[in-house]
């Protein structure tokens, strides 16, 4: 083959590699325009709400919802026309449909915020249904074995892992929830949001007083929980946003300024084993990328 032809083919290949097709550029422009017109509804529990992160939203102060949570930051990043953030600490899947009582009053069912004009929905829910916060609190161990007891054995009942049993029981509820969101907002892009990394392999006892066996049990059960969320999102035909993978290396064992999730004794304004402001910025970057590319 003549050298000039080879050079031309190489130039064409390079051009194709660095220049997106016209339809791809048009799609990107359309996505950006759509995002700027988004009516974004954020549903979820405290992992989405951001308890104690300044500033907390009034009038529903009992939800401990921050103006710097990932929903607010994502809405700003994509230039959404409207944000309806109804995330609320303590919320369960039932509170998508029923009012929720908080220490400072009752709040409306979260699904009330999803209407026909909604174009984007994120939902991070399920941790309170299975008792995630209590589970981690139970694993606090100020004295290691043989003086202190491991917590993981407490969750094996009749040879079954009760935490996984409760996780599996959530499957039909999450599928139903995704369907109900779709029925209310037929044109919306819908995303189930997973939960972060709460413990590295083997933990970091005594810096975070969870012994090795329990740290690995927490990791395994949360990985199972996140897999369940991803599977149910796929079954319902909606998106899934993984926060577990990008938060590796930002768990409670890492130092302030690096960690996204606070330990039992927080070093910044956040609830124990919940995202801090840095974590919400990190999660917002992940969520923004996911919803902008949909």
* Cα 185 from Cα 4, distance rounded (Å): 56
> 192 phi and psi, to 5 degrees?
-85, 130
Residue among 72, 95, 250, 274 flagged as catalytic:
274
Examine the residue annotation and report whether 72 is marked as an active-site residue of this protein.
no
Residue of 83, 144, 151, 171 lying closest to 119 (CA atoms)? 83
Residue among 19, 23, 46, 162 flagged as catalytic:
46
Examine the residue annotation and report whether 274 is marked as an active-site residue of this protein.
yes
Can you say whether residue 64 is alpha, beta or left, with left for phi > 0 and alpha for psi between -120 and 50 degrees?
Answer: left
Q: Give catalytic residue positions.
A: 46, 274
């Amino acid at each position: 083959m003549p050298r000039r032809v080879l050079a031309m083919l190489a130039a064409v290949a390079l051009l194709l590699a660095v220049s997106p097709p016209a339809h791809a550029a048009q799609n990107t422009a359309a996505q950006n325009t759509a995002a700027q017109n988004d009516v974004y509804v954020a549903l979820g529990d405290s992992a989405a709400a951001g308890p104690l992160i300044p500033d907390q939203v009034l009038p529903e102060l009992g939800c401990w919802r921050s103006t710097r949570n990932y929903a607010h930051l994502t809405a700003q990043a994509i230039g959404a026309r409207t944000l309806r953030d109804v995330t609320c600490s303590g919320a369960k899947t039932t509170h998508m449909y029923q009012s929720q009582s908080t220490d400072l009053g009752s709040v409306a069912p979260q699904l009330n915020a999803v209407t026909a004009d909604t174009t984007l929905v994120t939902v991070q829910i399920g941790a309170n249904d299975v008792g995630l916060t209590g589970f981690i609190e139970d694993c606090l161990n100020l004295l290691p074995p043989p003086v202190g007891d491991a917590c993981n054995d407490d969750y094996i009942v009749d040879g079954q892992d009760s935490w996984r049993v409760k996780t599996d029981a959530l499957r039909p509820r999450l599928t139903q929830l995704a369907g109900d969101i779709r029925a209310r907002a037929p044109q919306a892009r819908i995303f189930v949001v997973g939960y972060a990394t709460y413990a590295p392999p083997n933990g970091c006892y005594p810096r975070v007083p969870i012994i090795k066996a329990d740290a690995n049990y927490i990791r395994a059960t949360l990985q199972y929980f996140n897999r369940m969320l991803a599977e149910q999102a796929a079954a319902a035909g909606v998106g899934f946003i993984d926060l577990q993978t990008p938060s590796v290396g930002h768990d409670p064992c890492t130092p302030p300024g690096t960690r996204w999730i606070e330990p039992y004794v927080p070093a910044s304004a956040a609830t124990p084993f919940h995202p801090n402001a840095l974590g919400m910025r990190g999660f917002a970057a992940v969520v923004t990328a996911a919803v902008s590319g949909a």
